[in-house]
Chain A
């Protein structure tokens, strides 16, 4: 149980284009999902908290118009990197909390496998 998937696993795009990354909770409902960015040999940095049916809450310094987040259902959140530039190249990881707390409690986040974005 408690599986989170991400699609695509890796994507290469041209500078100026937009890229959408999907995060799905496969066997549980998640009212809250989180989006992280991980630089090489660095820790995970929280970008935003995504709540189903409401606007995402962005961390300080994260451009909300550049990183669009949509949490359309209890099992799906999407991150769209708009007008991507080479500096947006990174490893993006999502996580989800089990709303029902069935697995290890609502405080535990389950992580997706990540999406590697390369902007040329």
Chain B
């Protein structure tokens, strides 16, 4: 079955430290990859996406992600986090370009420690 795995349910990080949030998916065919952020009691906001081309994708708020086809991963990184980055982060994948349904990971709660 096609699935998206976010291994870390919670990640605490000190302010101004770097962070990496991991995402792996199960598929041997081409996919579209997304990272969304959800602030408390709000909907999801698109951070970045990978469709094709350069494997390093830059998004909003200083985040970037790298697509690794051989490892079927799409890890999210930021070199220096801020208090305002505290939120839930979801990795999502479109496995079927025909219906373009998003399959979400279980989310990673990023907590920034002052």
Contacts and interface: CB of A to CB of B under 8 A. Distances in A.
B98 to A, nearest CB: 11
A116 B42 CA distance: 10
Contacts of B49: 104, 107-108
A74 interface: no
B105 A43 contact: yes
B44 interface: yes
Interface in B2-38: 32, 34, 36
A2 to B, nearest CB: 9
Contact of B99 (A4, A44, A49): A49
A93 B83 CA distance: 26
Nearest to B34: A108
Contacts of A105: 51
Contact of A111 (B36, B97, B106): B36
A84 to B, nearest CB: 21
Interface residues of B, number: 22
Interface residues of A, number: 25
B101 A111 contact: no
A71 to B, nearest CB: 16
Given A107-B94, A114-B41, A46 B106 contact: no
Scoring B45, B102, B107 by chain A CB atoms within 10 A of each residue's CB, the highest score goes to B102
Interface string A83-120: 00000000001010100000011111111111010000
A34 interface: yes
Contacts of A4: 43
Interface of A: 4, 6, 32, 34, 41-44, 46, 49, 93, 95, 97, 104-114, 116
